A and B are shown apart, each in its own frame.
Chain A
Amino acid sequence: MLIAEAVRARFGQPLSYIIARKQREAAQHILQSILSLPERRVSGFVEQLSEAMMKPWSGLPILVLSLFLMYEFVGVLGAQTLVDFLEESVFGAYINPWVNQMLASFIPWSVVRDLLGGQYGVITLGVRYAVAIILPIVGTFFLAFSVIEDSGYLPRLAMLIDRIFKKIGLNGRAVIPMVLGFGCDTMATIVTRTLETRRERLISTMLLALAIPCSAQLGVMLGLMAGQPKLLVLWAIIVTGIFLLIGFLAARVIPGERPMFYMELPPLRLPTLGNIIVKTYTRMEWYFREVFPLFILASVIIWFGRLTGLFDVVVNALEPLVSWLGLPDETAVAFLFGFFRRDYGAAGLYDLRSTMNGVQLLVSTVTMTLFVPCIAQFSVTIKERGLKTALAIFAFIFPFAFLVGGLLNKLLVILGVTI
C-alpha cells in the first residue's frame, strides 16, 4: 500500500494511464523493427460500402433495405411460412389432436384436461407456442441477426443513429437491443444489460416495453393492415413518434449520467457460415432455457384465470375502456390475451378485422402496439430491473396506451377522417 501511495504521489496522472502509455511505447518500440505498412491503402468496394453506410443520405436507404430484407426473411419466411407449417401441419394436424385424444381417454377430470390440452393447455398452447411460433420466428431472426452482426454493420448503424439516440437519453450502442427488440422484446430486455449506465438501461427497457413490437406481433399486425398502405404508414409514424417523444421526456425526467458513445468500427466482412451457425445455436439454446418456462407459466395462468372466472371479470372491466376507444366490445378479449403473448392480442384483432372500419383498425393496432409487454417480457423486466421498476413501467404503459388510443380516436372522429 505504502509503495503504491509513493508511486502515485510521484506521478501527477492516474497510474493506469501511465502504465497504458508505457505499454504502448514498448509495443511501438518492438513493432518498429519488424512491421512495415504500405504507404497508400487501396480503397475498394468494401471501403466504399462502409463509407456509404455512415453517410446519412445513403445510410438511411441502406437501413431501410436491410430492414426490408430482414422482414422478408423473418417476417415472411419465419413468421408466416414456417409458423404455418409447424402450427397447422404438425401441431394442428398431429400433436394437438393426439394430446387431446389421449387426455379424453385417460383423464376423467376436465379441470386437468384443460390444464394440459384444449385451447389454452400447457401442451396445446404453451409448448405449441414455444415450438411452432417462437422457434421459427426467433430462429430465423437470430440467424439474420448473426449475419448482420458478423458483417460489421451494427457499429456503423450505431454511429449513424447516435445523435438521435442521445436526444432520448441513450447512445448509439442501444441500437443493438432496439433492433433485437423487433425480434423478441424479452430477449432484447435481457440484452439491455450491455448498456453502461443504469439510466440507459431503464430508458431502453421502458421503450422496448412501450413502442417496439416483437416479430410475432409485427407479423400479425402487418397481416392485419395488409393491402392498406395508408394505414400502415400512419401506424408507423404514430408509433415512431411516441417512441421518440417518450424517450425524449424520459431523458429529461430520469436523472443520471449522460450517455457516452464510443465504438470500434471493424472492417466489413463476409460472415462465415460456421460462426453464424454456432452463434445462432447458442443464442437459441440460451433463449429456450430462459424463456420457455415462462410460456408454460403463461398457459398455467390462463388456465387458472378461466377456471376461476377471473378472466371474465377482467374482460368486463376492459370493455368500457375499449368502447372509449370506439372499438367493439369483443376487442377486450384481444387486449387481455395481448398480455400473455403479444401476437395473440394482435391475432384477436385479426379475427375481428371484418367488423372494424379503418379508424378502428388504426386505433386498435396503435393501442395494441403500445399496450403492456407480454408476460415473458414482464417477468424478465422484473428480473433485470427489479419489481418496483417493472411495476412502475407497467403502471405507466397501461393507461398511456389507452390514453393515446382514445385521443387518436377522438381526433380522427372530430376531423372526420376515414381511412
Chain B
Amino acid sequence: MKISESAQELLEILWVVTEEEAKAGLQKKDAPADGAGELVQHGLAEWKGNLLIPTLTGKPEATRAIRRHRLGERLLADVLTMEATLLDEHTCRLEHSLFDGLDESICTLLGHPRFCPHGRPIPLGECCREMRASVGRLIAPLCQLQPGQGGDIAYIQMNNPRRLQKLMAMGVLPGVSIKLFRRSPSFVFEAAYSQFAVDEEIAADIYVRLNGL
C-alpha cells in the first residue's frame, strides 16, 4: 500500500496519540484534511464523530511506520552521529525509503534497540521477537557479547536515568573502546583503562560497535 508522505506522518501522529498518550483519537481540528481523507480512503483510519481513529488495518501499519521512524533516528543519531537539530528532517526522509524488510535488517544490525535517541520505545518487530542474530551484526548489547569480544561503544540506552548516571560516572560513553572479560558470575569488562563489574541489566544498556566488521 503506497500512501503519501504527509498521510504517513499523520498516521504516525495518530499512533502516538492513541497508543502512547492513550487518547481515543485525534481531534478534527488537529488533523489536516487531505491527509485524513487519504487515510480514510485507504481504510487505515475512520471518523468517529469529531475524532479520527485508526482502523484495525491502520493500527499495525502505523506501528510499522513508527518503528521505521525511530529506527531511522537510532541509525542517524548513534551510528552516523548526527546532531539533534538535523535529526528530525533527515529521519523523515529516511523512513520513507525504508521499505518493510529493510527495517528488520537495520534493526538486527543495530542489535535490536529498544528505545529511540529521545527515549521513546521502538515497537518490536518480528526480528526482535526472534532475537535474530544471524545477519552479521554491527552493533550488539554488551550482555550478548562473548568473553574476549570487544569494540567501541556505539551508544548507551537511556531509558533508566539511574543506570545512565552510573555509566557516565564509570566513563562508559560512546566512542570508548570496551572489551568483555567475563559473563559469569557477573559481567566484567574493561573500558577507559579500568575494569568494572556490572549486572546483566547494566550490561544490556551498553551497545557496542563490534570489532573486526
Contacts and interface: CB of A to CB of B under 8 A. Distances in A.
Are the chains A and B members of one assembly?
yes
Interface stretch (A13-21, A279-287, A326-334, A360-368): A13-21
Contacts of B201: 258, 260
A14 B173 CA distance: 13
Nearest to B164: A17
Interface residues of B, number: 36
Contacts of A14: 158, 161, 164
Contacts of A166: 199
A98 B85 CA distance: 83
B196 A262 contact: yes
A161 B184 CA distance: 11
B173 A263 contact: no
A383 interface: no
A25 to B, nearest CB: 7
Contact of A172 (B87, B184, B197): B197
Interface in B162-213: 162-168, 170-171, 173-176, 182, 184-186, 188, 192, 194-199, 201-202
23 contacts: A10-B84, A12-B117, A13-B84, A17-B156, A20-B168, A21-B174, A21-B175, A24-B175, A25-B175, A56-B184, A159-B186, A163-B186, A258-B201, A260-B166, A260-B201, A261-B197, A261-B198, A262-B166, A263-B196, A264-B194, A265-B195, A265-B197, A267-B195
Nearest to A35: B193
A262 B194 contact: no
Contacts of B185: 54, 56, 159-163
Q: Is the interface of B mostly helix, strand, loop or mixed?
A: mixed
Contacts of B175: 21, 24-25, 28
Contacts of A262: 166-167, 170, 196-199, 202
A12 B87 contact: yes
Interface of B: 77, 84-85, 87, 117-118, 156, 158, 161-168, 170-171, 173-176, 182, 184-186, 188, 192, 194-199, 201-202
Nearest to A21: B173
Contacts of B84: 10-13
Interface residues of A, number: 35
Contacts of B118: 12-13
A262 B186 CA distance: 10
Closest 10 CB pairs of A and B: A159-B197, A265-B195, A261-B199, A159-B186, A12-B118, A12-B84, A262-B198, A20-B168, A11-B84, A24-B173
Nearest to A172: B186
Nearest to B195: A265
Nearest to B120: A12
Given A20-B173, A54-B182, 20 more contacts: A10-B85, A12-B87, A13-B158, A21-B174, A21-B175, A24-B173, A24-B192, A159-B186, A161-B185, A260-B199, A261-B198, A261-B199, A262-B166, A262-B170, A262-B198, A263-B196, A263-B197, A264-B170, A264-B195, A265-B196
A5 to B, nearest CB: 15
A155 to B, nearest CB: 7
A171 interface: yes
A359 interface: no
